[in-house]
Amino acid sequence: MEVVISSSPTESYQIVASIFQSYILDHLDEKCVLGLATGSSPQGVYDELIRRFQFNELSFSHVNAFLLDEYLGLPPDHPQLYARYIRDVFISHLDMPNQNLHYPQVTQLNTGDISTICTDYEKKLRQIGPIGLQILGIGSNGHIGFNEPGSSLGSRTRIKTLSPITRTDNARFFSSEQDVPVHVITQGLGTILESQHIVLIAQGKQKASAIAQMIEGPVTINCPASVLQFHPHVTVVIDPEAASFLSNSSYYQFVQANKPDWQDKY
């Protein structure tokens, strides 16, 4: 796991946008598949990528993208439905074909259809994937996707119940906490681990404890993000506040300052 401590959230967005740009430009003639998270942590990255697209620095016309998770129980036109949200804030500003965005089809839900939605989504991942570059945020309780503490480390796409902490944290996107859905469909931890390169971005003090547990704690279902310790290519990009509970930050900074010329920057 590579830990990059930036000087500010803005610098983190630049770093992660550059990782995306390199991946997209390196995959012009081959499979180019992104994994996208929603929530506030990656928004600055998406804004920066839109800016670079508008300056003709890259195109998304050959890109496929998979959403990590989706709320259950929201009406099809709800602005917080993640498939709609990611279109509004990101995809609709790019030249990526609409049909290249893939997500759990929850609006087609009839009673009893959840497992079909999950298997269809996993099937699509197998057909179009694997995901070459996955961006993740992290919950204050250590979730990734919506794999709440207690999630099986090998889990696949399935329904999950949000924890009270996550519903409180996400209430800022809804009129009230009661309006935050209780259930979601999320890629499992085993599904996420199949992405080839994972970049996790976090900012702010409220993420510091989860970040320290993920990087320096034991691998445990109590901090689902700690499963990333098993993955061969993870880049964690955090600002100084999110890094503030780490014991080894000076070593991570030393590593970044002393990279051999032949090694990829991130």
One of 48, 122, 148, 169 is an active-site residue; which one?
Answer: 148
Beta-carbon contacts of 215 under 8 Å, excluding residues fewer than 6 positions away, are 1, 3, 229, 236, 246
Choice between 68 and 223, CB closer to ligand F6R:
68
Type of residue found at 164: P
Q: Is the Cβ of residue 59 or residue 165 nearer to ligand F6R in the bound state?
A: 165
Q: What secondary structure does DSSP assign to 176-241, as a single string?
A: SGGGS-SEEEE--HHHHTTSSEEEEEE-SGGGHHHHHHHHHS--BTTBGGGGGGG-S-EEEEE-TT
Sheet holding 2-5, edge to edge: 2-5, 234-238, 197-202, 133-136, 33-36, 64-67, 101-102
Nearest 5°: the CA angle 58, 137, 120 is: 80
Identify which of residues 11 and 256 has a Cβ nearer to ligand F6R in the complex.
Answer: 11
* Nearest-CB residue for ligand F6R: 137
For residue 148, indicate whether it is catalytic: yes
Minimum distance from CB of 263 to ligand F6R (Å)?
28
179 annotated active-site: no
Q: Which is nearer to ligand F6R, 65 or 138 (CB)?
A: 138
Write down the least CB distance from residue 27 to ligand F6R, Å.
Answer: 23
Among 100, 141, 147, 170, the active-site one is 141
The single residue of 143, 147, 169, 170 carrying the catalytic annotation is: 143
Minimum Å gap between C-beta 44 and ligand F6R is: 11
Token digits of residue 31: 């499979």
**CB nearer to ligand F6R: pick between 92 and 248:** 92
Residue 143 appears among annotated catalytic residues: yes
Which residues neighbour 72 within 8 Å (Cβ) at sequence distance 6 or greater?
A: 106, 109, 114, 159, 181, 183, 184, 185
Q: How far is the CB of 260 from ligand F6R (least distance, A)?
A: 32
Rounded least distance, CB 145 to ligand F6R, Å: 5
Catalytically annotated residue among 69, 70, 122, 169? 69
Question: Footprint of ligand F6R on this chain (CB under 6 A)?
Answer: 37-41, 68-69, 137-139, 143-146
Q: Which positions are annotated as active-site residues?
A: 69, 141, 143, 148
